[in-house]
Amino acid sequence: MNTSDVMTLLKDNQNKRGIENWTEQMHKDSGLTSFGIGLTQLRKLAKQVGKDRALAQDLWATDVYDARVIALLIDDPKHITREQVEQQADQLSGGYLAHVFSTCGATLANASLAQEVATDWMDSDDPVRKRCAYGLIYEFSKSKKKSAPDESYFFEAIDRIDQQFADQDVDTQMAMGGAIMGIGMRSKPLHGPALKVAKKICPIDFDPTGSCDPFDAVKHLTSDRIRKKLDL
């Protein structure tokens, strides 16, 4: 496929209600347009497109949100460079793409430099980068690969969340909440310290409209499923 083919695919799958929601939520300040396609559907379309680094770069250069999401999903993690990552971080359109950039099956988390990026960005003064750092840590917490961080890495992340949480914007707090949840689910030794911090920072009220319930990592970490999984 080329860029034109992907745009046709997106147009064929556009969602009128999604487009209306995009407009209502005032994403115009992102500088991006959208076909209103949900992330679940975009992930399916990305599988249809297939991994293609050159196409990913072309799609990222567009001003279409859905095309940029596809770009993040089809890139080749073996060839992602630090220069590319930093440039893309500057182009996340005020954070609208930050969640997908660092989580949701995007290829960055599988790149060899991902741990280095996350470590550096935890100390970044840029809230979007800091948010992405904790998104990556959430992805690491789910990894069963030998290349995944060891437990000392996650213990350090728990400490950072505990120390820095109160001073962050709500988007970064949500990323931290997701990370603490993922870390606590990873192993029995990590569960206790993660749960202790989760009880301090949760619930996180992220929706000013009140239409969504606050995020509560404690509920997930104390669920019967996790207790059984970790033999608690």
Q: Write the pLDDT tens digit of every residue in 143-189.
A: 999 989 999 999 999 999 999 999 999 999 999 999 999 999 999 99
Higher pLDDT, 96 or 203: 203
pLDDT at residue number 27: 59
**The Cα angle at residue 174 between residues 93 and 15, in degrees rounded to 5:** 50
User: Which among 111, 133, 9 is positioned nearest to 53, based on CA atoms?
Assistant: 111
Q: What predicted TM-score, i.e. pTM, was given to this entire model?
A: 0.93
Q: Is 214 left (phi over 0), alpha (psi -120 to 50) or beta?
A: beta
Task: Report whether pLDDT(29) > 80.
Answer: no
The confidence score (pLDDT) of residue 153 equals 96
Confidence of residue 30 (pLDDT cuts 50, 70, 90): confident
> Residue 26 has what pLDDT?
58
* 8 Å CB contact between 178 and 206: no
